[in-house]
Amino acid sequence: MGLLDSKVALIFGVANDRSIAWGIAQAFAREGAQIGISYAGEALEKRVRPLAVQIGCNFVEPCDVASDEQIQRIAQKAVERFGKVDILVHAIAFANREELNGPYYNTSRAGFHLAMDISVYSFTALAQAFQPHISAGGALLTLTYYGSEKVAPHYNVMGVAKAALEASVRYLAYDFGRQGVRVNAISAGPIRTLAAAGVAGFKDMYKRYAEIAPLRSNVTIEDVGNAAVFLCSDLASKTTGEVLFVDSGYNILGISEAIE
Ligand code: NAD
Closest atom of ligand 1 to 189 CA is 42
pLDDT at 26 over 70: yes
Give the atom of ligand 1 at the shortest distance from the alpha carbon of 21.
26
> Would the CB of 190 count as within 6 Å of ligand 1?
yes
pLDDT of residue 63: 98
| pLDDT tens digits along 70-127 | 999 999 999 999 999 999 999 999 999 999 999 999 999 999 999 999 999 999 999 9
pLDDT at 258: 75
* Confidence (pLDDT) at 260: 64
Q: What is the mean pLDDT of residues 12-41?
A: 98
Position 206 pLDDT exceeds 80: yes
The pLDDT score that the predictor gives to residue 160 is: 98
CA distance 168 to 173: 8
- Split at pLDDT 50, 70, 90, the class of 238 is very high
In angstroms, rounded to a whole number, what is the distance separating the alpha carbons of residues 30 and 32?
6
Average pLDDT, the chain: 97
Mutate to test the pocket of ligand 1, among 39, 61, 92 (most ligand atoms within 8 A of CB): 92
Instruction: Spell out the domain ranges in the chain.
Output: 8-250
Split at pLDDT 50, 70, 90, the class of 42 is confident
Q: Relative to the CA of 146, which ligand 1 atom is closest?
A: 43
CB neighbour list of residue 140: distance below 8 Å, 6 or more residues apart: 87, 88, 89, 90, 123, 126, 127, 130, 134, 172, 176, 181, 182, 183, 184
Per-residue pLDDT at 256: 87
Which secondary-structure segment (H or E) carries 45? helix 42-54
Please write the tens of the pLDDT for every residue from 27-36.
999 999 999 9
- pTM above the 0.85 mark? yes
Residue 93 Cβ contacting ligand 1 at under 6 Å: yes
Beta bridge partners of 35: 9
| Ligand 1 atom closest to the CA of 196, numbered from 1 | 41
Ligand 1 contacts CB of residue 121 (under 6 A):
no
For 173-183, how does the pLDDT look when each residue is reduced to its tens digit (9 = 90+)? 999 999 999 99
Q: Is 141 in the pocket of ligand 1 (CB under 6 A)?
A: no
Classify 180 as helix, strand or coil.
coil
Mean pLDDT of 190-204: 95
Domain 8-250, what fold?
Rossmann fold (3.40.50)
**Which DSSP letter does residue 120 get?**
I
pLDDT-derived band at 259, boundaries 50, 70, 90 = low
- Selected catalytic residue, list 146, 155, 209, 250: 155
Say if ligand 1 is within 6 A of residue 36 CB.
no
Separation of alpha carbons 190 and 227, rounded Å? 15
CB-based contact 16:47 (threshold 8 Å):
yes
pLDDT grade for 244, boundaries at 50, 70 and 90? very high
Tell me the mean pLDDT in the region 198-221: 95
Q: Is the CB of 114 under 6 A from ligand 1?
A: no
Sign of the CA dihedral running 145, 150, 156, 159: positive
* pLDDT grade for 65, boundaries at 50, 70 and 90: very high
- Half-sphere exposure of residue 120: CA atoms within 13 angstroms, side-chain side: 22
Rounded distance between C-alpha atoms, residue 128 and residue 90, angstroms:
13
